[in-house]
Amino acid sequence: MRVEERFLKYVSYWTTSEDGKGVTPSTDRQFLLADELEKEMKELGLAKVKRDEHCYVYGLLPATEGFENKKPMGFIAHMDTAQSFSGKDVKPQIISDYGGQDVVLPGNGDVIKVSDFPHLPSLKGRTLITTDGTTLLGADDKAGIASILTAVEEIIEEKIPHGDIWLGFTPDEEIGEGADLFDLDYFQAEYAYTVDGDYEGEMSYENFHASSAHFVIKGVNVHPGSAKNVMVNAASIACEIQGMLPAQEVPEHTEGREGFYHLSEMHGDVNEAHLDYIVRDHDSEIFEKRQQLLREIEAKMNEKYGAGTVTLNLKESYRNMLEVIEKNFFIVEKAKEAIVAAGIEPLSLPIRGGTDGGRLSFMGLPCPNLGTGGYAFHGPKEHVTVEGMEAVVKVIKGIAKNPIEKK
């Protein structure tokens, strides 16, 4: 099956995850794609194929005879899509021989503009796949899944010699929980790659330190006509908390390794209000200072308005994988060699987010990130090219066919 056929099949599955559910997977709909992947892996003849009760899917392409002494490796992608925009009833728009210009989305007339996405002219002549504007596309990370399974199918068909190759597909990556129940006792790789970036020549091994911050503000609600020295307006305090954070240290004003506070959701009234933030930084010391500032804000608000008015729940999500990868840099070098061999310019940029690989690296599985050929993730302007996914297939095959000797 061609990579675009797989991709178009996978994006038809609604797999949006949902934060705060307290179960894995966070949404039962992810099981539908998991069951499809389990079936396809069995049809390819893979060994140890399993979909477990938490929606993780595993499989093994056993080593070619005579290659059993090579280090077992793995490829990982996630099945869920982000809750930031609808992932239900995706209607892809396929543009053959794309001209490199602005793209009109037929579902709502919105436009993917070259002025917003300057890489678009570089995709001229390719087959471009977009949404119709009413949903996200799901290239994050169904392009990764499609590329991994297509590469494995071609490795089998072309009889490419290889060591053990493990595959893993996870739920709930988009809510920071994809690695929570990943079974490293079952997935017997010594190193792996997530396929979850954008540009097809991407080889990323730095990501943010990340935490989530949730403020709960308790107010006192009385009639405004008799509110003096009695009312405590939770909604107003929420605005005050937001105003205490550096105005320029937000996603829309930062880039590269610059960290931020991102107010992702706020709601409430006089009686009670809630603020949800994601906190990010590549530097561990600055990251801790960011978290400490939030703790200080909680203390100041309670000193000003009374104990128990503001409660902060601060939870670390993941850490910068660079701390692990720099001790296992052969993994990066191996991937860059495969990217160059595929005729692609390698590019290493710090990930302004996280992947399952960041968590897995600290769990004992060094796991940098490869590109998928997709762009503008998490929204209706998401897009990918068939040629980009085909290039990723070549990269995966190139990594697999040069296995490393066990020590």
Among 4, 38, 40, 80, which one carries the catalytic annotation?
Answer: 80
Other C-beta atoms lying within 10 Å of the C-beta of residue 9: 15
Please tell me the distance from the alpha carbon of residue 190 to that of residue 324, in angstroms, as a whole number: 13
Provide the token pair at 200: 């097809």
Among 172, 173, 298, 387, which one carries the catalytic annotation?
Answer: 173
Please tell me the distance from the alpha carbon of residue 15 to that of residue 5, in angstroms, as a whole number: 18
Max CA separation in the chain (angstroms): 85
| DSSP secondary structure letters along 36-81 | HHHHHHHHTT-EEEEE-TTS-EEEEEPPPTT-TTBPPEEEEEE--B
One-letter amino acid for residue 233 of the chain: N
Other C-beta atoms lying within 10 Å of the C-beta of residue 80: 29
Nearest to 355 by CA among 192, 120, 183: 192
Please tell me the distance from the alpha carbon of residue 259 to that of residue 222, in angstroms, as a whole number: 40
190 in active site: no
183 in active site: no
Please tell me the distance from the alpha carbon of residue 119 to that of residue 112, in angstroms, as a whole number: 11
Please tell me the distance from the alpha carbon of residue 360 to that of residue 191, in angstroms, as a whole number: 10
Nearest to 196 by CA among 377, 13, 317: 377
Catalytic annotation, residues? 80, 173
